[in-house]
Amino acid sequence: MSSADTLEAFKRDGRIVIVGASLAGLRTAEALRDKGFTGSLTMIGDELGEPYDRPPLSKQVLTGWVPADGTVLPRRRDIDAEWLLGVPADGLDLATNHVHLADGREVPFDRMLISTGVRARPWFVEAEAALDGVFVVRTREDAEGLQQAMAAGPSRVLIIGAGFTGSEIASICRERDIAVTVAELAPAPLVGGLGAMIGEVAADIQRAHGVDLRCGVKVTQLEGDAQGHFRRAHFDDGSTVDADVAVVALGGIRNTEWLRDSGLAVGIWGVACDAGCRAFDLNGLVTDDIFVAGDVARCPNPIYEYRFISLEHWANAVEQAEIAAHNMLSAQADRWPHLSIPTFWSIQFGINIKSVGVPTFADEVVVTQGSVPDHRFVAAYGYQGRVTAAVSFNNAKWLDHYRQLIETAAPFPPPCPTPDTPADAKPVPVDFPGPTLLAQGATVVVTGHDPGERRVTAMRQHR
Amino acid sequence: MKVVVDLSRCQGYAQCAFLAPDAFRMHGEEALMYNPNPDDVQREQVLRAAAACPLQAILVDQLEGRDAPVEATPS
């Protein structure tokens, strides 16, 4: 039988299992059916219910406009799948091609997709995280709980972490006229994603909206009352804040623990894969039947020196789903690379913040058009003299222009495309906090001498 | 009915907010806030808004109006 016959047989009668039934998993399933896959399709997810959209959870749901169960994703088509929901996968056996579920079931496959995404990083002291009034926001249950706590009229909300999610929630608090304190370890909000210059703009905006913004401080303790309700937070500078609600917005943890013994290249950074969404094994060899998409995928991007980049972006999940589905059903020569330029948005304090490219891949930033004091501008990011990213505040219509500059490696700083050239358009250092990933320690050891014997083994961290 | 807007495509032209103001609202100058689960009585308005979007960023459930998929019942 030729490989073309094998592929046709797989498309007709093969078994595909998708682990992670959220945006990336659902869109991959739809695309597989669209592209003519008629075999069996199994959707595995640890949450009950149909796939739902998460971005509205920190916006429309928290304002009280949309109920938390009202963000179920629209379907582009019937996917005729078997759904195994409410049970997480807890293992993957690549020798026999089975996914293990936490309830003991084993699900066989010919090809599979890993789209298990990210979970919220919890507060680091378990007993304090368990206090009433302490929330994270990732699932619809999280959002429902926080919405109810906000509706109950808290004296003050404390938000720990001024990244995008924390800043969006602070914005909702002010919209609902709730007093809010934001605590951030970095010198300004959004610094980790967008650098110091934009961070200063974000800080001004938060303060102008009445946020009690405290930067360069660390929350050291969440204190509860006798009833186990959060009441007070302690900071490392000795100060305290009294509040009824604390929102822990310290980013996410990629859901890769279940793959620890799988022999795939996994770690805190996600599951490494090629530009076609095929997973790498522990040795760095590409696999044929295991694919990755969405927040958990870590994929090389040729535009950015082939560096492995993982992105917790909505559009990235959608685009990788399309690529993964196509490649699952294609022979090697017909496979597509995922070559799109990352895009991201955040809505806060009445401002539409959007980005294109990878702002952290930059050494300089310059405001290229518009006005920073008016909060309507575009800033371009450059690395070694070429444009690598752009961020817009209420100026989204121009981002496509910057996407083209990035794709063509246009020189940095780029000229202003409009008459509203800013008066002092001078590039400044982009100034990101240090690369924390460099401090993680060893993850593997190499054994063997002959090229035919040399193999990588995962190291268990004893910490 | 179920709706999702690809906000990475949305450029804030606000056509949807004019055509279906109960489901789509502008937040500030160009940010869009929308109801992902608008009432079925808004269906015609929402479909018109989706058709009018210059970026074609609005996706409306294609399974609606037919039997709901039984596949999503947890086992």
Task: Please give the ipTM for the structure prediction.
Answer: 0.91
Is B34 part of a structural domain of the chain?
yes
CATH number at residue A373: 3.30.390.30
CATH number at residue A317: 3.50.50.60
One domain, residues A101 and A35? yes
A201 within domain boundaries: yes
Whether A12 and A88 map to the same domain: the answer is: yes
Residues A368 and A272 in one domain: no
Contact (Cβ atoms closer than 8 angstroms) between residue A73 and residue B4: yes
pLDDT in the model for residue A459: 77
Based on the fold, state whether residues A39 and A62 are members of the same structural domain. Answer: yes
Summarize the confidence of residues B1-20 as an average pLDDT: 95
Between CA A11 and CA A38 the distance in angstroms is 6
The residues near B51 (Cβ < 8 Å, ≥ 6 apart) are none
Domain endpoint, select from A221, A250, A279: A250
A59:B33 CB<8 A: yes
Nearest to A74 among B4, B33, B75 (CB): B4
Cβ atoms of A39 and A15 within 8 Å: the answer is: yes
**For position B51, what pLDDT does the model report?**
97
Decide if B4 touches A, using CB distance below 8 A. yes
Are A409 and A389 in contact, with CB atoms under 8 Å apart? no
Q: Which is it for the CA torsion A168, A169, A173, A175, positive or negative?
A: positive
Residue-wise pLDDT for A197-212, tens only, equals: 999 999 999 999 999 9
Within-domain flag for B74: no
- Note whether residue B32 is domain-resident: yes
Q: Do A78 and B63 touch (CB under 8 A)?
A: yes
DSSP A264: B
Q: How far apart are CA A108 and CA A17, in angstroms?
A: 8
Instruction: Residue B10: give its domain's CATH number.
Output: 3.30.70.20
Q: Are residues A30 and A99 in the same domain?
A: yes
Contact A314 B6 (CB under 8 A): yes
Q: Which two tokens stand for residue B63?
A: 């399974």
Average pLDDT score over chain B: 87
- Asked if B34 lies within 8 A of A86 by C-beta distance, the reply is no
CB contact under 8 A, B6 and A315: yes
Angle (nearest 5°) at CA B14 between B11 and B16: 115
Half-sphere exposure of A198 (CA within 13 A, CB side): 30
Check if the beta carbon of residue A363 is closer than 8 Å to that of residue A393.
no
A190's CB contacts (< 8 A; 6+ apart) are A162, A163, A164, A167, A198, A199, A202
Q: Could you tell me how far CA A281 lies from the centroid of its own chain?
A: 22
β-pairing verdict for A252-254 and A118-120: antiparallel
Domain boundary among A227, A250, A273: A250
Q: Does residue A185 lie within any of the structural domains?
A: yes
Q: Extract the residue ranges of chain A whose pLDDT is less than 70.
A: 1, 434-441, 460-463
Residue B72 lies in a domain: no
Q: Are residues A325 and A360 in the same domain?
A: no
**Within-domain flag for A345:** no
Q: Assess if residue B75 is contained within a domain.
A: no
In chain B, which residues have their Cβ closer than 8 Å to the Cβ of A394?
28-31
Please tell me whether residues A136 and A242 are part of one structural domain. Answer: yes
Number of domains within chain B: 1
Separation between Cα atoms, residue A348 and residue A205, nearest integer Å: 9
> Which structure tokens are listed for A178?
């709730």
3-class state of residue A265 by DSSP: coil
Could you tell me the residue range of the domain that residue A240 belongs to? 126-250
State which residues form the domain around B32.
3-63
Q: Strand order of the sheet with strand A270-272?
A: A266-267, A270-272, A297-301, A307-309
Each residue's pLDDT tens digit, A358-373: 999 999 999 999 999 9
Contact call for residues A364 and A429 (beta carbons, < 8 A): yes
Contact: A82, B11; criterion CB under 8 Å: no
Q: Is residue B69 part of a domain?
A: no
Give residue A379's region: left, alpha or beta (phi > 0; psi -120 to 50). Answer: beta
Report the residue of B3, B37, B58 to disrupt the A interface, i.e. the one with the largest count of A CBs within 10 Å: B37
Residues A370 and A394 in one domain: yes
Structural domain count, chain A: 3
A334 three-class SS:
helix
Residue pair A113/A278 in contact (Cβ under 8 Å)? The answer is no
Q: Which of A228, A250, A272 corresponds to the end of one domain?
A: A250
Quickly list H helices, A121-195. Answer: 126-129, 140-151, 164-175, 191-194
* Domain match, A113 and A135 both: no
Question: A11 with A88, same domain?
Answer: yes
For chain B, the 3-state helix, strand and coil shares in percent, each to the nearest 5, are 30, 20, 55
pLDDT at site B64: 64
Neighbours of A39 (CB within 10 A): 15
pLDDT for the residue numbered B67? 42
pLDDT of residue A417: 86
Residues A110 and A142 both lie in one domain = no
Chain B residues with CB inside 8 Å of A50's CB?
72
Are both A113 and A259 inside the same structural domain? Answer: yes
